[in-house]
Amino acid sequence: MTTAVTVKGGSACRIPWARPVLWGNEATYAREAVESTHWSAGPFLERLEAEFAALLGVGTDCCLAVANGTAALHLPLLALGLQPDDEVVITGWGFAAAANMTRLVGAKPVFCDVDADSWVATAETIAPVLSSRTRAVVVIHNYGIVSPMTEIVQLLRDRNIVLVEDCAESLFSRIDGDMSGSFADIAIWSFQATKTISCGEGGMVVSKSAALTEKMRLVRSHGMRTNPKYVHWELGHNFRLTNVQAAIAVAQLEKREEIIRTRRHVYDRYRASLNHLPVRLQHVPPDVEPVMWGLGMIADERVGKSRGEVMARLDEAGIETRPGFVAFSAQPIYRADPLPVSDRLSDNVFSLPFPPDLKDEDIDYIASSLAAVLA
């Protein structure tokens, strides 16, 4: 594993918000893929799908590797054949890929609020926005915390609504002992450069429906089957992942136990270091075993400093931060109604650096710098 960063910037070490880490065989496998000249399809792509299927306990035919996490969301929404009057309920505080893809396929995104403590959607926040036009629900597991899926599955049972888990930020997280992505009809993951497993870009779709999987397989590659050539059975895109990228993802997946261990260590160290500060972290429900992708928090209002001021001061100390997700109601292109909790999180959440190879001394420096800013 590579060591933690210390790039000098001014008088302080520049600690990035995220960075990819080389865990072992990334360069070796990538070179092997390049030298094989199997740059598009190839054995690493097949291996990635097979190993991901084994991880989830599903058949290899259920898994489709794709070009990125956004394509992983776009693909099932296309395959569902959504119409302009159809609604897709989406977690109202989270990254906007699901909302964008819903709009791009011509359907209507409808946003549900999130729990004030865990920052994820629940059955209680989803139920009020369901309607006779709801065709799908996309649940986003923010920062690695898994929504209470058993209750959500029960809510949607017998309603003919497709449930999608957006696990881009929750790879390896579990709830009630089961891995995120194992509850829904469809689940998606991202392998973008900041994600838990990365190959620069890339993603995975897993579907429990053989018919839907077959349609997504066609749409993924121009609507064609391998035989006969150049016959298009569906209107398709090119959402394929390359064999070279898959080689890097396979190398990362090999080291998943080390990745899980180091991410949990970073998170636990942060919690201990920040315990005495006037900040509120995202709540981890007792039935969730998270592998955190990010560390979000809200400064106590009694501190008397705005989020922008806190982030600017940390930047001066060489610590990169990011704001939380922006409420959909604050972005005119979505034409979304306000949501009390989501809007409040949008105004207040910021996140600290969370590379998985952060050293303890880096975390302690970040915590002491934050303490000085909040004092």
3 lies in a domain?
no
pLDDT digits (tens, 9 = 90+) for 100-110: 999 999 999 99
pLDDT value, residue 2: 40
Check: CB of residue 351 under 8 Å from CB of residue 292: no
21 lies in a domain?
no
Number of domains in the chain: 2
pLDDT value, residue 13: 63
The yes-or-no verdict on residue 7 having pLDDT over 60 is no
pLDDT digits (tens, 9 = 90+) for 235-288: 999 999 999 999 999 999 999 999 999 999 999 999 999 999 999 999 999 999
Closest alpha carbon to 322 in 164, 143, 160, 147: 143
14 lies in a domain?
no
pTM score of the predicted model: 0.94
Residue 83: partners with Cβ closer than 8 Å, 6 or more residues away: 106, 107
pLDDT value, residue 311: 97
pLDDT value, residue 154: 97
pLDDT digits (tens, 9 = 90+) for 52-81: 999 999 999 999 999 999 999 999 999 999
The yes-or-no verdict on residue 5 having pLDDT over 90 is no
Enter the tokens of residue 33: 């893929």
209 lies in a domain?
yes
Residues 237 and 267 occupy one common structural domain: no
pLDDT digits (tens, 9 = 90+) for 113-152: 999 999 999 999 999 999 999 999 999 999 999 999 999 9
> Which secondary-structure segment (H or E) carries 367?
helix 360-374
pLDDT digits (tens, 9 = 90+) for 14-64: 899 999 999 999 999 999 999 999 999 999 999 999 999 999 999 999 999
Cα 52 from Cα 108, distance rounded (Å): 31
The mean pLDDT value for 218-237 works out to 93
pLDDT value, residue 48: 98
The yes-or-no verdict on residue 194 having pLDDT over 90 is yes
Check: CB of residue 165 under 8 Å from CB of residue 141: yes
Task: Tell me the percentage of the chain whose pLDDT exceeds 90.
Answer: 94
pLDDT digits (tens, 9 = 90+) for 109-124: 999 999 999 999 999 9
190 lies in a domain?
yes
Residues 34 and 166 occupy one common structural domain: yes
pLDDT value, residue 226: 87
47 lies in a domain?
yes
What CATH number does residue 333 fall under? 3.90.1150.10
Cα 366 from Cα 249, distance rounded (Å): 30
Residues 205 and 308 occupy one common structural domain: no
Domain boundary among 200, 224, 254: 254
CA distances from 17 to 243, 250, 257, 356, 357 (A): 29, 24, 22, 11, 12
Residues 206 and 351 occupy one common structural domain: no
15 lies in a domain?
no
Residues 211 and 272 occupy one common structural domain: no
1 lies in a domain?
no
What residues make up the domain containing 199? Answer: 26-112+119-254
Residues 50 and 156 occupy one common structural domain: yes
The mean pLDDT value for 293-306 works out to 95
pLDDT value, residue 328: 96
The mean pLDDT value for 193-208 works out to 97
DSSP string for 52-64: HHHHHTS-GGGEE
Q: How much is the mean pLDDT over the chain? A: 95
pLDDT digits (tens, 9 = 90+) for 347-362: 999 999 999 999 999 9
**Backbone φ/ψ region at 119: left (φ over 0), alpha (ψ -120 to 50), beta:** left
Residues 197 and 262 occupy one common structural domain: no
Domain boundary among 204, 231, 254: 254
Check: CB of residue 78 under 8 Å from CB of residue 105: yes
Domain boundary among 254, 272, 287: 254
The yes-or-no verdict on residue 333 having pLDDT over 50 is yes
The yes-or-no verdict on residue 1 having pLDDT over 70 is no
Check: CB of residue 118 under 8 Å from CB of residue 145: yes
pLDDT value, residue 9: 37
CA 99 to chain centroid? 14
Residues 223 and 305 occupy one common structural domain: no
Residues 93 and 236 occupy one common structural domain: yes
What CATH number does residue 107 fall under? 3.40.640.10
User: Phi and psi at residue 221, in whole multiples of 5°?
Assistant: -130, 65
Residues 169 and 43 occupy one common structural domain: yes
Residues 291 and 271 occupy one common structural domain: yes
Residues 335 and 234 occupy one common structural domain: no
